[in-house]
Amino acid sequence: MKNLKKIKELKGFILDMDGTTYLSNKPFPGVIKFLEMLKKQNKKFVFLTNNNSMDTSQYISKLRKMGIKVKKENIYTSGQATALYLTNKTKSPRVFVLGTPSFEKELEKAGCILTDREVDYVVVGFDKTLTYEKLKKACLLIRKGAKFIASHPDINCPTIEGYIPDCGSICAAITTSTGKKPFIIGKPKKEIILGAVKQMGTKLSESCIIGDRLYTDIKAGKNAGITTILVLSGETKKKDIEKTKIKPDFVFKSIRKLYEKLL
């Protein structure tokens, strides 16, 4: 493992949520102490998640219930990044959404027009309200020429019950039907990392990402050129690292183990 001095000198920490910081509604051991340490050292941090089933205010509430004190500037989601992308590309874009009511509100708040007529974009998120009717409409609209957008590529979302289908799995069904692949907004795209770093107010060279997935968290960090820290508390297992070309700069069993090493 590389010298821990590099981590100690960092000023900005991007933390993944599901599988890294918590599982469902329970924070992993050591997370709160780690964040308290960052605050005492005047370090910046932001929670970055591909899970857009909730909006910023809901994530703040969720984290606070776990004992994790955060403000609006500590949250950055793929929902925010997707809304920014769509409204930067098209003025008042007409969007058909496969997503939760919270995701729909976030897009609408940013200036998107939610509709199933004359659609510019079919946007897929982590849709816990998914129905066959939604899938059918999405496929028909894409065949008619609507652009296919995915807020993130995650295949599964970890929960206490086990892994459940995420945005990537929903997109796979649409791709199988239409033959069209989505343009992805969230991790592993570097743009979402750049947005999170900008929100922290740090430089890329002094920022890092801590996550549990090689193909989203670590790859996103690599794409953006920041330090990458993999924790084995979620989807990725130690044996997976040997099989991939995506090599993290640091590997820890959990955030608690990272915290203990930095003491």
Q: Containing H/E element for 211?
A: strand 207-211
Q: Which of 18, 55, 120, 127 is catalytic?
A: 18
Query: Do residues 182 and 45 make contact, with C-beta atoms less than 8 angstroms apart?
Result: no
- In sequence order, the β-bridge partners of residue 22 are 18, 27
Is 55 considered catalytic here? no
Query: Do residues 53 and 97 make contact, with C-beta atoms less than 8 angstroms apart?
Result: no
CA pair distance 75, 14, nearest whole angstrom: 10
Q: Which of 16, 55, 127, 249 is catalytic?
A: 16
CA 109 to chain centroid, in Å, comes to 20
Is 249 considered catalytic here? no
Q: Containing H/E element for 174?
A: helix 167-178
Any idea which residues carry the catalytic annotation?
16, 18
